[in-house]
Chains A and B, each alone.
Chain A
Amino acid sequence: MTNRIPGMAPVRLFWLLTLRDIRMRYTQTLGGFLWTIIQPLALTLVFTVIFSRTLGITSGDSSVPYPLFALTGVVPWSMFSTGLTRSTSSLVNDWPLVKKSAVPRMLLPLSSAVAPVVDFAVSCLLIVALMVYWRVPVRPAILAVLPVLAVGVCFAAGLGLWLSAINARYRDVGWGLPFAVWMGMLVSPVAYSSSMVIGHSRWEVLYTLNPMAGVIEGCRWAILGGDFPGPMLMRAVGIALVVVVLGVLFFRTQERSLADVI
């Protein structure tokens, strides 16, 4: 599948598609970018009332206020789930590009997986504002969220490559995914600390096989400090890389027939 369009450098096209994805998400909304903040805030509020106030779940080993703790889980998780969801539907939503243009197909799921990084950046401002409010020190180590985040984006992109190509053939994926994402949030340390599971459950190995567990704990460590979740993060890097490499290979096998089956 060759790209025969003049002057179309894949990298430039990738950014173009990413920007398009970001713009497209908020057309005809009153709130626009406010939605990037409203969603995590609302979720954090619910978590605070249910998990912290009612069930007595704490911020793990750290002493930061629970809302801030939850937010540092909610924000990377929503970046991942938005990216994965949009990436999965990218080929089907943009079927005219698949059937009638020479845009390299792989760029569609990849750009959709990357676009929510912008949401993350906006939400980070919210996190920092709350840190200042609660007098939690903002340390230079916070920059470490970037490489950690890259792991999450890689994982979303890798899964997106698989699922978008399968979704083009079988729309079942589109039906099953919202459910899977919702379950994914429960098995990731979004509303609670992974230290509640690790050392306390027979399932802890299985638990840490979920790369988002490592990514979320990594983000928390970068933003709030605490123990470096080394083994979990390493596992996340490994699994994300495997998923993305296999995803690229799988996508290559599907690419040629996408326009026929979509």
Chain B
Amino acid sequence: MAQGSMVVVSHVSKVYRRGAGIATLKGLLSGDFRNRHEFYALRDVDFEVAPGEVLGIIGANGSGKTTLLSILLGCVCPTEGEVRLRSQVCSMLDLGVGFDNGFTGRQNVYQACQLQGMTHRQVADGFKSMIDFAGVWPIIDTPFKRYSLGERVRLEFAVLTCLDAPIVLVDDILALADVAFGEKALAYIKQVAESGRTVLLVSHTPQRLVPLADRVLWLRGGAVADLGPPGAVVRHYLEAHG
């Protein structure tokens, strides 16, 4: 491990089994499980991220971006290799983790923030700014299931703005946001990127990464296709997929 790296991913591979496997008794009896084949979601991925660096991650659907972030968060274990993190992480892997439809917006904010490790006090302190950010004051005590899709996304994203761990993992979570809120959220991510925290940011819109990221990692079929300055990597990527 190089001195001072915040995130070290060394020779990480992740194998998933495909095919029905022995998911059913029928499969077991018919011998289908012998037909299952192995699939490398990640193949010998190896890189490091320096403190304060913003690493953009791009790649086609199914190239292993989310698997990589899940491994970094500790939700998924690599089949081979290992990851090391020098600090605590907070995850923006998905919107609405810890949210429940039956609870009100307010209850959900407390719930979700606390599940991410904040204390009740910390949530109370950040509550106003979160709801301001989401712009959902009039419906904050309404059950979450009555929220429109846009309102949900805004509140779910607002919760993530309260997290302050030194390493931030962000999946491409803004696909559902409307233009205005998308801009706002992007501005927030930009602010995080500039705040000196270490950010790993997945995006399906590579052009967005160019001004944000210090380096960009391109995953193709689970392997690192390219890693380097954003402009060059994104250009290669767009050429390959153009």
Which residues of A come within 8 Å of B, CB atoms? 1-8, 12-13, 16-17, 20, 23-24, 27-28, 96-103, 256-257, 259-260
What A residues does B13 contact at CB under 8 A?
none
The number of chain B residues touching the other chain, given as a range, is 20 to 34
Closest approach, in angstroms, between the C-beta of B214 and any C-beta of chain A? Answer: 23
B74 touches A7 (CB 8 A): no
Closest approach, in angstroms, between the C-beta of A102 and any C-beta of chain B? Answer: 5
A102 touches B74 (CB 8 A): yes
Verify if B97 is at the interface (C-beta below 8 Å from A).
yes
What A residues does B119 contact at CB under 8 A?
7, 12
Which residues in window 70-107 of B have CB below 8 A to A? 70, 73-77, 85, 88-91, 93-94, 96-98, 100, 102-103, 107
Verify if B49 is at the interface (C-beta below 8 Å from A).
no
Partner of B89, one of A13, A28, A97, A102: A102
Which residues of B come within 8 Å of A, CB atoms? 16, 70, 73-77, 85, 88-91, 93-94, 96-98, 100, 102-103, 107, 111, 114-119, 143, 164-165
What A residues does B118 contact at CB under 8 A?
7
Q: A5-B90, A16-B114, A28-B143 are in contact. List 20 more A-B contacts (CB 8 A).
A: A4-B85, A4-B89, A5-B88, A5-B89, A5-B117, A13-B114, A13-B115, A96-B96, A97-B115, A99-B75, A100-B91, A100-B93, A101-B91, A101-B115, A101-B116, A102-B73, A102-B75, A102-B89, A256-B77, A260-B76
Give Cα distance in the complex from A256 to B75, angstroms: 8
Give Cα distance in the complex from A101 to B95, angstroms: 11
Give Cα distance in the complex from A156 to B100, angstroms: 25
B75 touches A98 (CB 8 A): yes
6 A–B pairs (Cβ distance < 8 Å), ordered by A: A5-B116, A27-B102, A97-B98, A100-B75, A100-B91, A102-B75
B75 touches A4 (CB 8 A): no
A-B CB pair tally, cutoff 8 Å: 83
Give Cα distance in the complex from A97 to B96, angstroms: 10
Closest approach, in angstroms, between the C-beta of B72 and any C-beta of chain A? Answer: 9
What B residues does A97 contact at CB under 8 A?
97-98, 115
Q: Contacts A4-B88, A27-B102, A97-B98: A16 and B115 contacting too (C-beta < 8 A)?
A: yes
Closest approach, in angstroms, between the C-beta of B37 and any C-beta of chain A? Answer: 16
A96 touches B85 (CB 8 A): no
Give Cα distance in the complex from A13 to B115, angstroms: 7
Closest approach, in angstroms, between the C-beta of B6 and any C-beta of chain A? Answer: 13
Give Cα distance in the complex from A7 to B119, angstroms: 8
What A residues does B98 contact at CB under 8 A?
96-97, 101
What B residues does A98 contact at CB under 8 A?
75
Q: Contacts A2-B74, A6-B88, A27-B102: A96 and B97 contacting too (C-beta < 8 A)?
A: yes
What B residues does A2 contact at CB under 8 A?
74
A6 touches B117 (CB 8 A): yes
What B residues does A260 contact at CB under 8 A?
16, 76
Closest approach, in angstroms, between the C-beta of A30 and any C-beta of chain B? Answer: 14
What B residues does A7 contact at CB under 8 A?
117-119
